[in-house]
C-alpha cells in the first residue's frame, strides 16, 4: 500500500481541488463537504484544512479556475477574429462562453451565485472574473469600436449568459441533453444575434 501524501504538499492541494470539481460536476453542490473531499483525495478528514479554511474557500478556488479557463477560451476566440471576420468572431466568442457552461455546469453555477461563494471575500476570484470580462470588452471593441464598449458589453454578456443558463438549467437543456446538440443549438441562436449586432454602426 502506498503511503498517504503529506497534508501540506502542493500536490495535495491540487488533488483536493480536482476531487471537489469532480464531485460538483457528477453529484452536485450539495454533495460537497470537507470530509467527502478528503475521502476522495485519500487523506484524513483534517488534511484539507491545511490548504482551505472551509468549503467556501474551496469553491472560491474553483471559481478562480473557472474564470481563468473562461478567459482563455474567450481570448482564443478573440485571437481568431482578424482572420475569421467580425461576425464569426462574435459567434466564436459566444460559443466559447456557452461551451464552458456546457462542459463545466457545476462550476459555472457557482461562479455566478454569490450566495454559494461570495467572491468579494476572495480578491483572486474577483481578478479572474475581471480578466474574463476584459475579453468580452475586447471582443466588443474589435466589432464596434472602443466608444461602444461600455454600452454594448452588457448586451453581449446578457445574451450569452442567458443562453448558457437556458441550456444548462432550463428547458433547452431538458430537450437537448447531448453536448453536441446543445452546441448546435447555441450556434443557431448566436448567428442571428451576431447579424443583428453587426447592424449597429461601428464607432472608433
pLDDT digits (tens, 9 = 90+) for 13-45: 999 999 999 999 999 999 999 999 999 998 899
**The pLDDT of residue 85 is above 60:** yes
Provide mean pLDDT across the span 73-81.
Answer: 95
Second-level CATH architecture of 62-198: Orthogonal Bundle (1.10)
- CA–CA separation, 111 vs 125, rounded Å? 9
Q: pLDDT grade, residue 59 (50/70/90)?
A: very high
pLDDT in tens, 144-167: 999 999 999 999 999 999 999 999
CA dihedral 106→108→109→110, nearest 10 degrees, is 90
CA dihedral 42→43→49→55, nearest 10 degrees, is 30
Q: pLDDT grade, residue 9 (50/70/90)?
A: low
Helices first, then strands: H and E counts in the chain: 10, 0
Q: For residue 49, how many other CB atoms are within 10 A of its CB?
A: 14
Q: Given the C-alpha cell 451576431, which residue does it identify?
A: 194
- CA–CA separation, 86 vs 78, rounded Å? 10
What's the distance, CA 106 to chain centroid?
10
Task: Give CATH for domain 1-52.
Answer: 1.10.10
Q: pLDDT grade, residue 11 (50/70/90)?
A: confident
**The pLDDT of residue 8 is above 60:** no
- 186 in Cβ contact with 98 (< 8 Å): yes
| Residue partners of 88: CB distance under 8 A and separation at least 6 | 80, 81
Q: pLDDT grade, residue 1 (50/70/90)?
A: very low
- 74 in Cβ contact with 93 (< 8 Å): yes
- CA–CA separation, 98 vs 100, rounded Å? 5
Sketch the domain layout of the chain as residue ranges. Answer: 1-52, 62-198
**The pLDDT of residue 123 is above 70:** yes
Q: Of 192, 198, 186, which is closest to residue 139 (Cα–Cα)?
A: 198
pTM: predicted TM-score of the whole model, two decimal places: 0.91
Amino acid at each position: 500500500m502506498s503511503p498517504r501524501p503529506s497534508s501540506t504538499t502542493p500536490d495535495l492541494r491540487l488533488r483536493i481541488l480536482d476531487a471537489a470539481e469532480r464531485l460538483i460536476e457528477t453529484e452536485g453542490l450539495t454533495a460537497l463537504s470537507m470530509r467527502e473531499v478528503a475521502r476522495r483525495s485519500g487523506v484524513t478528514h483534517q488534511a484539507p484544512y491545511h490548504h482551505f479554511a472551509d468549503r467556501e474557500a474551496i469553491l472560491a478556488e474553483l471559481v478562480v479556475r473557472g474564470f481563468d479557463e473562461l478567459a482563455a477560451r474567450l481570448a482564443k476566440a478573440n485571437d481568431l477574429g482578424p482572420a475569421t471576420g467580425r461576425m464569426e468572431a462574435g459567434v466564436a466568442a459566444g460559443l466559447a462562453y456557452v461551451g464552458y457552461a456546457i462542459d463545466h455546469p457545476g462550476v459555472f453555477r457557482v461562479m455566478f451565485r454569490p450566495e454559494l461563494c461570495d467572491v468579494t471575500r476572495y480578491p483572486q476570484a474577483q481578478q479572474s472574473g475581471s480578466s474574463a470580462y476584459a475579453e468580452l470588452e475586447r471582443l466588443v471593441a474589435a466589432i464596434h469600436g472602443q466608444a461602444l464598449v461600455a454600452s454594448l458589453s452588457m448586451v453581449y454578456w446578457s445574451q450569452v449568459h442567458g443562453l448558457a443558463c437556458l441550456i444548462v438549467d432550463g428547458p433547452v437543456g431538458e430537450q437537448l441533453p447531448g453536448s453536441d446538440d446543445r452546441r448546435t443549438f447555441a450556434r443557431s441562436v448566436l448567428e442571428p444575434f451576431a447579424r443583428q449586432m453587426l447592424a449597429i454602426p461601428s464607432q472608433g
